[in-house]
Amino acid sequence: AQTVTQSQPEMSVQEAETVTLSCTYDTSESDYYLFWYKQPPSRQMILVIRQEAYKQQNATENRFSVNFQKAAKSFSLKISDSQLGDAAMYFCASFGNEKLTFGTGTRLTIIP
Amino acid sequence: GAVVSQHPSRVICKSGTSVKIECRSLDFQATTMFWYRQFPKQSLMLMATSNEGSKATYEQGVEKDKFLINHASLTLSTLTVTSAHPEDSSFYICSARSQPGGAGVGTEAFFGQGTRLTVV
């Protein structure tokens, strides 16, 4: 079984600043993947970044990076130079045993 | 990335009727499709997983006779909500992935646009 926990229901950040969204997970799988998805008001799920658990190096995609702490089962998302278009719900997810399990989400507001 | 098309985007139906939602992978073969339900301001809850040509696997608490899932081809899965009631009103999202090692997808799942179902 997998569980994903996001302890921050809402976060806000000033435009151009940096924000970190927290996520912890638990899984019995030895081979798994972690994702951050963005859901804007359109409700289309958009993949932001992915991390293979067997890789020690933290994934980076332009302004988005993760801090993957495998022993602590922590997978936080850092957004640098926040932009108005980053405003959305962000879901952390764990994939293992053929299932994608989502956290409860963090609503990110960007303050102009 | 790969494209998943979900149709319709919105549907209103009368209580007691059935409604079908389609999920198509447009540029890859989806060996596995997932159906999720999302309540307002909540997370995505997995309802069932379907593999092409076999019966869907339903999550605990999901009524398989009410939510009929068919994955008849590698590009199409359908979710039929039978005898719909107002409590079935929700946002339904499908996602699809190809087999591991498939072109450009691997373990990543691509999502449809979602369907907002309103039962009146």
Per-residue model confidence as pLDDT tens digits over A41-67 = 999 999 999 998 888 899 999 999 999
Give me the phi and psi of A90, to 5 degrees please: -115, 125
Token output for A42: 């359109």
Give chain B positions within 8 Å (CB) of A42.
113
Give chain A positions within 8 Å (CB) of B32.
98
**Distance of alpha carbon A89 from alpha carbon B32, whole angstroms:** 25
Q: How many helices (H) and strands (E) does chain B have?
A: 0, 11
Contact B91 A47 (CB under 8 A): no
Token output for A27: 């899984």
What confidence tens digit (pLDDT) does each residue in B65-97 have? 999 999 888 899 999 999 999 999 999 999 998
CA distance A24 to chain B (A): 15
* Tens-binned pLDDT, residue by residue, of chain A (112 aa): 789 999 999 999 999 999 999 999 999 888 889 999 999 999 999 999 999 888 889 999 999 999 999 999 999 999 999 999 999 999 999 988 778 899 999 999 999 9
Spatial contact of A45 and B111, defined as CB atoms under 8 Å apart: yes
Residue indicated by tokens 């379907």: B50
User: How many C-beta neighbours within 10 Å does residue B117 have?
Assistant: 21
